[in-house]
Amino acid sequence: MITSLRVRAAVVSIAIFLAFIGVWHLATRSTGTAATMSPEYAKLMGLTANTGKSAMPGPLDVGAKLWEHLKQPFYDNGPNDKGLGIQLGYSVGRVGLGYLIAVIVAIPLGFLIGMSPLMNKALDPFIQVLKPISPLAWMPLALYTIKDSSLSAIFVIFICSVWPMLLNTAFGVAAVRKEWINVARTLEVGTFRRAFTVILPAAAPTILTGMRISIGIAWLVIVAAEMLVGGTGIGYFVWNEWNNLSITNVIIAILMIGLVGMLLDQILARFTRMVTFPE
Amino acid sequence: MSSNKFISIEGIAKRYPQPSGGTTTTFEDLWLSMPSGEFGCIIGHSGCGKTTVLNILAGLDEPSDGTVIVDGQAISGTSLDRAVIFQSHALLPWMTVMGNIAYAVSSKWRKWDNAKVRAHAQIYIDKVGLTGSEHKRPSELSGGMKQRVGIARALSITPKIMLMDEPFSALDALTRGTLQDEVRRVTLETGQTTFMITHDVDEAMYLADKIFLMTNGPGAVLAEIVENPLPKDRSRIDLHKHPQYYALRNHIIDFLVTRSKTFTSITPNHDPRNVPVVRPAFTEAVVTGASVMPSLASATR
């Protein structure tokens, strides 16, 4: 039977998913009373002890809870009880803002570094030292100077997403084919027009690749940053639910973090395709 | 300014410092001039610095010494008066055919509105036979069509000089032939002053009015200026039937094969400011070869 690769891949994907759910269900289901004990003790021990149920929620528990969240994603019952949509919204907002500032800083600076060998050499030691610093290491300094936890999280997003964009922009700009630059030179095109009409489109695929790496890193870092600063956001939600011992909600949050991360990556992938040109 | 010195290269040199100290001289004290409306062609082996000469003329490179004067003015840097056709066509791949040519046109006439730019570009798209391909991107074009766009882009800015750096060397023989015809037609029609680099003897003989022979580098010199004795209305098809064809061809081939290596040592008194001008014609040596000609001609059939 000849079916397209896509269909066959989809069948395998679904099979893997169902197998995973099945194993998960079997591993966490109740196995009957684990040990005989006095009713009072059993009450204290909870379901885990007296019906053999694992503390890990099964797929049905998670599914039911997820449905509950999806029915009401934007409820707000005070600081420690907000809908998943609101929490994700806070995180996406912080990532968006920090990322936007990083774009505004990194792309012009990357152009400067890529076009000027002097600035390239002069700034290189700073970039080499600053780039490997874990973005969370900046957090205390940010909290001390900015004095606002939410803004500090945005700063951390900025600092972690600026480097891949900066380096890719500088590389893309420096690697523009000499012959395209020569075309612009023989046409007496000025520096600014050259930057926008030749260098920018030629370097755009490389720049967008850097932006795609950055959005991925920013989304990784926001969860950790929000665990530290607290208050709102999906990272805070994860930590809060851990303190509530709601593993179900933690699993749901993990799933949501993955889905939103994929979405952000796909958006940037689409932009990259838009500026890529065949040669 | 006398009209036969529309382009005047005056004593240019190109030297590169070596990492070990000292310098490598690609060429030294090069003098060359060309009148307006002529087609000049430099021919020489790789490494003789012919591309450097062209880049200096274009303003993309600077000579270590000497100046280049075009139309009575010393050049400095690139200019819209000197259009370059690059070996690798150098089209901007994110623009269409129309976009590439319109980019050049709008660079020259910055105040023109979009409609005027496109109308002007269209004239040159039609001229090189690309009508109907205006909205294609370079990746959708064959090598020959890409180079046609390169030619249209150069012509569209109506330059004083068109500079061509081995423009057809990356193309197959058939395409190269048709493009040579196009270039010959267009340059004759418009009286375009053109300067070309090639290592293809037949190409030089078909296209050029003057052929500049360069010796091997480093330390290359302009050895001879060969005036093309073939008639102006020559065509590529029956070029080889012309009585002067073999005289000219043998002269150039002789130079490339042997004299380009030995020229400097056997001609110590060579004056770079007064390069001999030769016009190969029937000499005794070639007359004896004339009897071979019919068989050669039939062999090509």
Distance CA B3, CA B36 (A): 7
Contact B173, B141 (CB under 8 A): no
User: Average pLDDT, stretch A144-155?
Assistant: 92
State residue B292's pLDDT score.
39
- In this complex, the residue of A183, A186, A278 whose CB is nearest that of residue B92 is A183
Selected residue with higher pLDDT from B264 and A170? A170
DSSP summary character for residue A195: I
Task: Using an 8 Å CB-CB cutoff, list chain A residues near B58.
Answer: 186
State residue B156's pLDDT score.
94
User: What is the tens place of the pLDDT at every residue in B72-112?
Assistant: 899 998 999 999 999 888 999 999 999 999 999 999 999 99
Q: Which of A55, A244, A187, A173 is nearest to B106 (CA)?
A: A187
Contact B185, B128 (CB under 8 A): no
Q: Looking at this predicted complex, what is its ipTM?
A: 0.85
The mean pLDDT of chain B is 87
Is the per-residue pLDDT at A179 higher than 90? yes
CB spacing of B60 vs A189 below 8 angstroms: no
First and final CA of chain B: distance in angstroms?
48
Range from A69-73, A205-209, B14-18 that averages highest in pLDDT: A205-209
CB spacing of A187 vs B93 below 8 angstroms: no
Q: Is the dihedral of CA A60, A66, A70, A71 positive or negative?
A: positive
- Chain B segment 113-142 residues within 8 A of A by beta carbon are 137-139
State residue A51's pLDDT score.
65
Is the per-residue pLDDT at A35 higher than 70? no
Selected residue with higher pLDDT from A18 and B296? A18
Give B300→chain A minimum CA distance, Å. Answer: 38
State residue A279's pLDDT score.
80
Distance CA A256, CA A248 (A): 12
Beta strands per DSSP E along A176-231:
none
CB spacing of B86 vs A182 below 8 angstroms: yes
Give B147→chain A minimum CA distance, Å. Answer: 14
User: What is the tens place of the pLDDT at every residue in B244-270?
Assistant: 888 899 999 999 998 888 888 888 888
Distance CA B244, CA B253 (A): 14
CB spacing of B59 vs A179 below 8 angstroms: no
User: What is the tens place of the pLDDT at every residue in B157-184?
Assistant: 999 999 999 999 888 888 899 999 989 9
Is the per-residue pLDDT at A210 higher than 60? yes
State residue B295's pLDDT score.
36
CB proximity B167 to A under 8 Å: no
Instruction: Name the percent of chain B lying above pLDDT 90.
Output: 52
User: Average pLDDT, stretch A40-62?
Assistant: 74
DSSP one-letter string for B156-187:
HT--SEEEEESTTTTS-HHHHHHHHHHHHHHH
Is the per-residue pLDDT at B297 higher than 70? no
State residue A107's pLDDT score.
96
User: Average pLDDT, stretch B270-280?
Assistant: 84
- In this prediction, residue B296 has a pLDDT band, given cuts at 50, 70 and 90, of very low
Q: Which of B225, B193, B188 is nearest to B206 (CA)?
A: B188
Is the per-residue pLDDT at B299 higher than 60? no
User: Average pLDDT, stretch B287-297?
Assistant: 39
CB spacing of A278 vs B83 below 8 angstroms: no
CB proximity B104 to A under 8 Å: yes
Contact B79, B59 (CB under 8 A): yes
The mean pLDDT of chain A is 91
Selected residue with higher pLDDT from B190 and A199? A199
State residue B301's pLDDT score.
34
Contact B165, B118 (CB under 8 A): no
Contact B216, B260 (CB under 8 A): yes
Residues forming a β-bridge with B33 = B8
State residue B275's pLDDT score.
85
Give A209→chain B minimum CA distance, Å. Answer: 17
Task: Using an 8 Å CB-CB cutoff, list chain A residues near B88.
Answer: 179
- In this complex, the residue of B79, B94, B103 whose CB is nearest that of residue A188 is B79
B192: left (phi over 0), alpha (psi -120 to 50) or beta: beta
Rounded to 5 degrees, φ, ψ at A234 are: -70, -30
Residues forming a β-bridge with B277 = B225
CB proximity A179 to B under 8 Å: yes
Is the per-residue pLDDT at B243 higher than 60? yes
Is the per-residue pLDDT at B272 higher than 90? no
State residue A46's pLDDT score.
67
